[in-house]
């Protein structure tokens, strides 16, 4: 190779002696290039190709630990099959003929007629009885498939619809608590509850989206914050139950999913807040002051509720929240005085969410206390019965023979 | 016990569709992992990626249950996953930013300054930071090429463009990404 290059330059010099100077320049440039290459060979670390790894390397490294565990994979597969069947079932009930189309139009009326009939034949008793049913109970499908949808039909505005969906989400968590305190929460029930909760949360998201389109962002934000607070409160409550070691494995599943829904809700709320602050037409001062007085009223009501607890010990989580609420309330006042309405609004919303969280935690505490009281009552009843049985079994010694006793 | 235990799952499938289950199970078994990884690279949220994976296979099942046949399984699944991702993004409207707390919760370190890193080292967050600097379709194409190892012809089927266009765009994407790499 070197020979060829040398002969090339020699030939060039012969062919064009007048261009010798120019050719010398080319020769030098060529030699420089060769020297650089030799240097790079000697010090490979300085070579770009060696140092810069192929793109694939970066992607491989980034994706190395992204994988589904076999259990997770199996769980997803099971959920897929359940969802398939659910969708197949709902598709089957879709319109396939004119008659069915007509029937579908009449469906709300059919339901109404069903209700009237149910009232006439004493179905209300069934509806009331189903209200206290839990997943796995015979009447539970009546509650979630018939009674609750009927109750939801009276929610005509998007605001009341979203409130109803938040209420239903709350109800499902209360059912979970009831099952956990009874020690009867099964995996299948966790799945069923989660599926209902996710459905309610999705419906609430949709209703809130419509509120934003119709009534404006302020109203939508309130509902979004409410939904987030409900999820936040229940996530906290599930953690409390989990710490007590009650069916912790099943609770973890419920808790993880709740935290995920809470985060989703939080992101949407944050994004809505950004939109609100960017909207120049919004009178932030007015809103912040108005919301501030609502928080104030809610805190007053909460204090009254706490006074009614008659010195009952609070959960540490509840106490922590109460301290934070007070801080939020102080911050809101400071921000309003300083004219920082954005900060006032944000802290106010945080305060309100914490009030909701405390309310959920107080509900949980109540539920746990009444369950313990019921347990004690059962234990006492059992004890009394045992005493009675023992008395019956004891031989009655006739009076006249008592003197024979030592 | 196998992870996807057919007799166990068959109880949740109606008789009408029971015949689809073996093929569907195999499809899921083979593609769940790569589709999940693809979705994670696209949405950067493990839980959301799992949801998208689930919805992708639910739609695939619906497609199969309607009596239609899938010719190119992999391309079909990636395309479906892409559609689900688009739907999800539309639904959320706003692309959320990942907070520091969430990143810490997910066990990830906060994003670092890419240029401050030694040459030849780049972690996942930094790679994501670089990808974020690219616009679509470059991001999608790079993920399909380097995460999913799809050849350009297959990428073309997935994204619904011609192979020539995909090759050109992929080339541009690679150059753009390289230009962003430290000492690139």
| Alpha-helical runs (H) found in B44-162 | 46-65, 73-92, 100-105, 124-132, 138-142, 152-159
Highest mean pLDDT among A380-389, B11-20, B27-36, B163-172: B27-36
pLDDT at residue A91, rounded to an integer:
62
- A263 with A290, same domain: the answer is no
Mean pLDDT in residue range A316-340: 84
CATH 3.40.50.620 fits B112-184, yes or no: no
In chain A, how many domains are there?
4
Query: Could you read off the pLDDT of A248-267 as tens digits, one per residue?
Result: 677 888 888 888 898 888 98
Burial annotation A310-324 (CB, 10 A radius, 16+ → b, else e): eeeebbebbebbbee
- Interchain proximity B3–A74, CB inside 8 Å: yes
Q: In this complex, is the C-beta atom of A390 within 8 Å of any C-beta atom belonging to chain B?
A: no
pLDDT at residue B56, rounded to an integer:
93
Give me A81's structure tokens.
Answer: 């099959």
Q: Which residue has the higher pLDDT, A289 or B5?
A: A289
Q: Which CATH architecture describes the domain B16-96?
A: Orthogonal Bundle (1.10)
- A176 with A277, same domain: the answer is yes
- A135 with A232, same domain: the answer is no
- A295 with A267, same domain: the answer is no
Average pLDDT, chain A: 74
Measured CA to CA, the distance from residue B58 to residue B111 in angstroms comes to: 34
Shortest Cα–Cα distance, B161 to chain A (Å): 23
- B5, B9, B120: residue with CB nearest A53: B120
Mean pLDDT in residue range B94-106: 47
In three-state secondary structure terms, B12 is coil
Q: In this complex, is the C-beta atom of A47 within 8 Å of any C-beta atom belonging to chain B?
A: no
Judged by phi (left if over 0) then psi (alpha if -120 to 50, else beta), residue B107 lies in left
B chain contacts of residue A270, beta-carbon cutoff 8 Å? 96
Query: Could you read off the pLDDT of A357-379 as tens digits, one per residue?
Result: 888 888 888 777 777 776 666 55
- A58, A74, A260: residue with CB nearest B4: A74
Mean pLDDT in residue range A38-47: 46
A72: closest CA among B61, B51, B131?
Answer: B51
Q: In this complex, is the C-beta atom of B20 within 8 Å of any C-beta atom belonging to chain A?
A: no
Query: Could you read off the pLDDT of A21-36 as tens digits, one per residue?
Result: 555 555 555 555 555 5
Cα distance from N-terminal residue to C-terminal residue, chain A: 130
pLDDT at residue B53, rounded to an integer:
93
B56: closest CA among B34, B84, B37?
Answer: B84
Q: In this complex, is the C-beta atom of A283 within 8 Å of any C-beta atom belonging to chain B?
A: no
- Which residues of B, range 163-182, sit inside 8 Å of A by Cβ? 174, 177-178, 181
Q: In this complex, is the C-beta atom of A92 within 8 Å of any C-beta atom belonging to chain B?
A: no
Closest residue in B to A82 (Cα–Cα): B12
- B3, B14, B102: residue with CB nearest A70: B3
Q: Does residue A313 have a pLDDT over 60?
A: yes
A chain contacts of residue B5, beta-carbon cutoff 8 Å? 74
Least confident span in A51-65, A87-101, A123-137, A179-193 = A87-101
Query: Could you read off the pLDDT of A177-223 as tens digits, one per residue?
Result: 888 877 777 888 888 888 899 999 999 988 898 888 876 788 888 88
pLDDT at residue A27, rounded to an integer:
59
- B13, B92, B122: residue with CB nearest A58: B122
Q: Radius of gyration (Cα) for chain A, nearest Å?
A: 37
A chain contacts of residue B37, beta-carbon cutoff 8 Å? 63, 66-67
Q: Which residue has the higher pLDDT, A38 or A146?
A: A146
- B53, B147, B183: residue with CB nearest A63: B147
Residue that terminates a domain, selected from A225, A248, A282: A282
Shortest Cα–Cα distance, A42 to chain B (Å): 19
- B9, B36, B47: residue with CB nearest A68: B36
Least confident span in A105-119, A275-289, A323-337, A386-400 = A386-400
- C-alpha dist (Å) from residue B75 to A265, B4, B70, B143, B153: 33, 23, 10, 14, 10
Closest residue in A to B15 (Cα–Cα): A85
- A274 with A166, same domain: the answer is yes
Closest residue in A to B91 (Cα–Cα): A206
Mean pLDDT in residue range B60-85: 88
**Is residue A346, in this structure, part of any structural domain at all?**
yes
**Residues 6 or more apart whose Cβ sits within 8 Å of residue A83:** B54, B58
Q: Does residue A404 have a pLDDT over 50?
A: no
Least confident span in A149-163, B19-33, B111-125 = B111-125
**Is residue A247, in this structure, part of any structural domain at all?**
yes
**Is residue A275, in this structure, part of any structural domain at all?**
yes
A126: closest CA among A110, A113, A115?
Answer: A115
Average pLDDT, chain B: 76
- A305 with A351, same domain: the answer is yes
pLDDT at residue A401, rounded to an integer:
37
Domain boundaries, chain B: 16-96, 112-184
Least confident span in A54-63, A86-95, A359-368 = A86-95
Closest residue in A to B14 (Cα–Cα): A85
**Is residue A377, in this structure, part of any structural domain at all?**
no
Q: Which residue has the higher pLDDT, A208 or A61?
A: A208
Tokens 């150059």 label which residue?
Answer: B175
- A273 with A287, same domain: the answer is no
Chosen for mutation from A44, A46, A54, A55 (greatest number of chain B CBs closer than 10 Å) is: A55
pLDDT at residue A386, rounded to an integer:
55
* Residues B144 and B150 sit within 8 Å (Cβ to Cβ): yes
* Residues A333 and A293 sit within 8 Å (Cβ to Cβ): no
Measured CA to CA, the distance from residue B62 to residue B57 in angstroms comes to: 9
- A175 with A215, same domain: the answer is yes
pLDDT at residue A197, rounded to an integer:
92
Chosen for mutation from B27, B60, B114, B120 (greatest number of chain A CBs closer than 10 Å) is: B120
- A55, A76, A263: residue with CB nearest B54: A76
A chain contacts of residue B65, beta-carbon cutoff 8 Å? 84, 88
Q: How sure is the predictor about B44, in pLDDT bands with cuts at 50, 70 and 90?
A: confident
pTM as predicted: 0.46
Tokens 């030592």 label which residue?
Answer: A406
pLDDT at residue B31, rounded to an integer:
92
In three-state secondary structure terms, B3 is coil
Cα distance from N-terminal residue to C-terminal residue, chain B: 49
Question: What ipTM was reported for this prediction?
Answer: 0.77
Shortest Cα–Cα distance, A107 to chain B (Å): 26
Mean pLDDT in residue range B83-89: 86
Shortest Cα–Cα distance, A332 to chain B (Å): 24
Chosen for mutation from B6, B8, B12 (greatest number of chain A CBs closer than 10 Å) is: B12
- Interchain proximity A63–B37, CB inside 8 Å: yes
pLDDT at residue A218, rounded to an integer:
81
A139 upstream amide cis, omega within 30 of 0: no
- A173 with A271, same domain: the answer is yes
- Interchain proximity A77–B4, CB inside 8 Å: yes
- A130 with A164, same domain: the answer is no
Q: In this complex, is the C-beta atom of B151 within 8 Å of any C-beta atom belonging to chain A?
A: no
Residue A125 domain boundaries: 103-154
- A48, A55, A70: residue with CB nearest B146: A55
Shortest Cα–Cα distance, B175 to chain A (Å): 10
- C-alpha dist (Å) from residue B146 to B34, B149, B184: 12, 5, 18
Measured CA to CA, the distance from residue A145 to residue A162 in angstroms comes to: 18
Q: In this complex, is the C-beta atom of B1 within 8 Å of any C-beta atom belonging to chain A?
A: no
């Amino acid at each position: 190779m070197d020979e060829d290059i040398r002969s090339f330059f020699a030939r060039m010099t012969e062919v064009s002696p007048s261009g010798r100077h120019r050719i010398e320049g080319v020769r030098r440039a060529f030699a420089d290039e060769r020297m650089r290459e030799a240097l790079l060979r000697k010090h490979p670390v300085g070579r770009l190709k060696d140092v810069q790894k192929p793109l694939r390397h970066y992607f491989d490294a980034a994706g190395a630990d992204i994988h589904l565990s076999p259990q997770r994979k199996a769980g997803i597969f099971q959920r897929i099959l359940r969802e398939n069947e659910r969708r197949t079932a709902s598709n089957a009930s879709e319109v396939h003929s004119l008659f069915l189309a007509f029937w579908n139009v009449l469906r709300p009326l059919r339901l109404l007629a069903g209700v009237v009939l149910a009232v006439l034949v004493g179905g209300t008793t069934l509806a009331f009885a189903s209200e206290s049913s839990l997943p796995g109970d015979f009447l539970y499908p009546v509650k979630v498939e018939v009674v609750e949808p009927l109750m939801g039909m009276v929610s005509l505005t998007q605001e009341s619809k979203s409130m109803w969906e938040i209420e239903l989400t709350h109800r499902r968590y209360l059912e979970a608590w009831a099952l956990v305190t009874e020690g009867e929460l099964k995996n299948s029930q966790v799945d069923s509850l989660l599926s209902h909760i996710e459905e309610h949360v999705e419906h609430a998201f949709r209703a809130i989206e419509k509120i934003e389109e119709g009534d404006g962002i302020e109203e939508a934000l309130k509902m979004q914050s409410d939904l987030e607070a409900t999820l936040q409160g229940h996530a906290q409550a599930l953690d409390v139950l989990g710490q007590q070691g009650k069916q912790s494995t099943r609770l973890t599943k419920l808790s993880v999913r709740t935290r995920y829904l809470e985060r989703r809700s939080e992101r949407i709320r944050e994004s809505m807040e950004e939109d609100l602050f960017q909207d120049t037409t919004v009178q932030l001062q007015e809103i912040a002051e108005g919301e501030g007085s609502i928080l104030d009223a809610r805190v007053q009501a909460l204090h009254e509720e706490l006074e009614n607890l008659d010195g009952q010990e609070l959960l540490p989580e509840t106490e922590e929240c109460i301290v934070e609420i007070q801080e939020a309330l102080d911050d809101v006042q400071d921000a309003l005085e300083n004219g920082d309405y954005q900060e006032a609004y944000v802290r106010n919303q945080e305060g309100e969410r914490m009030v909701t969280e405390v309310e959920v935690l107080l509900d949980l505490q109540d539920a746990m206390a009444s369950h313990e009281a019921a347990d004690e009552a059962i234990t006492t009843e059992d004890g009394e019965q045992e005493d009675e049985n023992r008395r019956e079994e004891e031989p009655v010694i006739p009076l006249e023979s008592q003197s024979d006793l030592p | 016990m196998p992870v996807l235990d057919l007799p166990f799952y068959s109880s949740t499938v109606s008789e009408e569709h029971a015949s689809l289950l073996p093929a569907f199970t195999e499809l899921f078994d083979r593609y769940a992992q790569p589709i999940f990884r693809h979705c994670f690279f696209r949405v950067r949220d493990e839980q959301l990626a799992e949801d998208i994976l689930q919805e992708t296979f639910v739609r695939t099942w619906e497609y199969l249950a309607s009596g239609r046949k899938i010719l190119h399984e992999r391309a079909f699944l990636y395309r479906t996953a892409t559609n689900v991702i688009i739907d999800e993004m539309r639904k959320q409207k706003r692309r959320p930013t990942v907070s520091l707390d969430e990143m810490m919760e997910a066990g990830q370190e906060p994003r670092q300054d890419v240029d401050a890193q030694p040459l030849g080292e780049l972690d996942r967050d930094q790679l994501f930071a670089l990808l974020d600097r690219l616009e679509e379709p470059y991001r999608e194409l790079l993920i399909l090429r380097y995460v999913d190892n799809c050849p350009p012809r297959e990428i073309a089927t997935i994204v619904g463009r011609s192979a020539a266009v995909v090759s050109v765009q992929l080339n541009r994407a690679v150059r753009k990404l390289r230009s962003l790499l430290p000492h690139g």
